[in-house]
Structure 1
Amino acid sequence: MRHRGKALVSVLAVGVLALAGCGGGDDGGSGSGPGGMSVPKVDKMAQLGAGEGTVNVIAWAGYVEDGSTDPKVDWVTGFEKETGCQVNTKVAGTSDEMVALMKTGEYDVVSASGDASLRLIYGGDVAPVNTDLIGNYKDVFEGLKNKTWNSVDGQPYGVPHGRGANLLMYRTDTVKPAPTSWSAVFDPSSPYKGKITAYDSPIYIADAALYLMKTKPELGIKNPYALDDAQFKAATDLLTQQNDLIGEYWSDYTKEVQAFKSGDSVLGTTWQVIANLAKADKAPVEAILPTEGATGWSDTWMISSKAKHPNCGYLWMNHIISPKANAGVAEWFGEAPANKLSCAETADKNHCATFHAEDEKYFEQVWYWTTPLAQCVDGRTDVTCKDYAAWTQAWTTIKG
């Protein structure tokens, strides 16, 4: 998807985890995850060798631009000339597609979102990353390193690419007083019934869980992606109630921009880049991070455990998070860059301020998308949590 030269993050895939039966080891990248789940033993690269001449990449639209979309947008050609690694890109539309493609062993690296990364790690489809071989890794914001969606037991399984928060947007001429809480989209007596919008994905259940985590502490929710039976029921009940308020669920950002411009939607979830585009189109909107915080997303470049071109794969991962390339992707795509030095390289010198790239206190309030597992990702071992298959089934029921 494109709009004024910027590509947006793709819709989260509807997926089912298939993690049972994964073997484990004690070294070379093996480790234990939530609930003691084991990670298959996969060795990480010890040293870089000569490039193999090719790197096969799976990426979201807008992440690997070679000038063919816009001659001014190209962070591939220079890499190819410098390394001799020809970049072959497969654009994927969903996280499920990325996982399936990585299982074929035909691709070297992938720009995985948080709902795919754990599946790839526990499925043995990606290798642990030796960050000593990636010079630009040292300049990645600390807030993106060694997180639950991109590492196990402190071992990185990828290179952070960028991040963003799921915000609350509203029309300033209609929604008064200005909202400060997610209660604005969950209030059953809302005066904006029929004009509230929400993100169309099972992962949106986490938004309800986050709200309940802050407003109903008696439920004991510690992580919006780790919900036992009672917690899950509370979240899905809230979303079923909210369904009566929803005018439409959105997944296409251009349609959300149009809905806010026309007034068909006046309140609901959004991304910062969507708010920027709506404002540029003269829609009277503002977007805020509510008092409860928000869910969000952070993508990770990961290397296949079966990579045929691992040296070029490592060279690519180092390049794509280099200050200039990472700045180019962040501006084109509409996100905060992962490399802290990228902020000095953006064409728009306000880009990092707009997307809160250097504001760790802001992102401390963001719960990044993480694949829900039966083995609770909050560390609990005395209960079973609802996995993504259950989230998918529930979402279908909620929407009716």
Structure 2
Amino acid sequence: MRNRLALLLILTLAAVASAAGRITINVNSQPIKEVLKEVKAQSGINLIYITSDIPDRKITLHLEDATLKECLDAILKDTRVTYSVMDNNIILRREAVLSPKRVISGFVREEESGEAAIGAIVRDANSGAFTTSNSNGFYSLPVTSSEADINVTLTGYTPMSIRLDSLKLDNRLDITLTPSGKLDEVIIVGDKNSELTFESPVIGNLSMNRHSITSTPTLFGESDIIKSLQFQPGVIPGVEGFAGLQVHGGSDDQNMYLLDNVPLYQVNHLAGMLSSFNTDAINNVDFYKSSFPSRYDGRLSSIIDIRTRDGNLTHRQGSWKIGLTSGSFNIEGPIIKNRMTYTISVRRSWFDLLSIPGIAIYNAVINENMSKIVSRHAFTDFNAKTTYHFNDRS
């Protein structure tokens, strides 16, 4: 059957070439597309092709009184472009080269604590394909070549470059990022429409880690997730100094708060003066105020997805903090090294202690027939979490 088809193609090309006459080509270092135009002009046969299928290559060719088939064979030699005859037309096509899709996947973690590095950009410099690590630090990057130059970047960490050769269909690559050292004076010029914004695979998403939240100036110096988000475009606090969040003109109840995938419906203390999120227990916050991923629903204005810390995989560590209105304590470490971790965070306010002098003075100066004020108000936040890594892929 194949021999018959080949014979039919040869006879058809011979018939077309006979009808078109003989062709003479004498070119030196001319682009292939220009040579094809000359063939079309001499033969009177339509050459149909997609411009991108014809390689941008120059050829030198000298043919005297040649057939159309001889011309096309010489012009398209070593180009992976084939041709076929249809009526009075010659159709040129580039042969499709199918290469198996290979996948590189793994976890991106911090070097010191083993915590998940969320939002790290993992890019293949050869193909330009890239992805980001999710809330668990996991990434999956498809590549088409058997080789890859992997570049990993995350703000606050030293960029990494890894060369991979002889890739299989399924490849495992765990990445450990090292915090970047102190820098000399740096002047940064940029805007919101930066290259990183356009290259992000998620539109309308802001990701903030614990360090970004604690460095945001707030009332009384108490770091707060919601007050940090109030500085973003399209967001207003509602009442100045309080932890309200009105996004693109919406109300407070049109925002969805998720704490490790659990929805919360009351997130404030003291009628909104402080939120109930203890910054010491927070690892990362994803704030969506434009387009929402399909896994979220139920709110109109925004999604605030908060992830708490998993705990240090290698050693125990702790911290404590005393502020104007509250104090906090955090401890974390491994239960089983590199396998099971714990983290405990406690925050307690002392508004009751601060109000005692003022209430005592008021009660001392009022008349005997007036009722005295007896008021004590405080709150305590307690966060505890245990994380167990079953295997390398869970």
Would you say same fold, with TM above 0.5?
no
Which has the larger share of helix? 1
Q: Which has the higher contact order (CA 8 A, sep 6+)?
A: 1
TM-score relative to the length of structure 2: 0.22
TM-score relative to the length of structure 1: 0.22
Which has the larger share of strand? 2
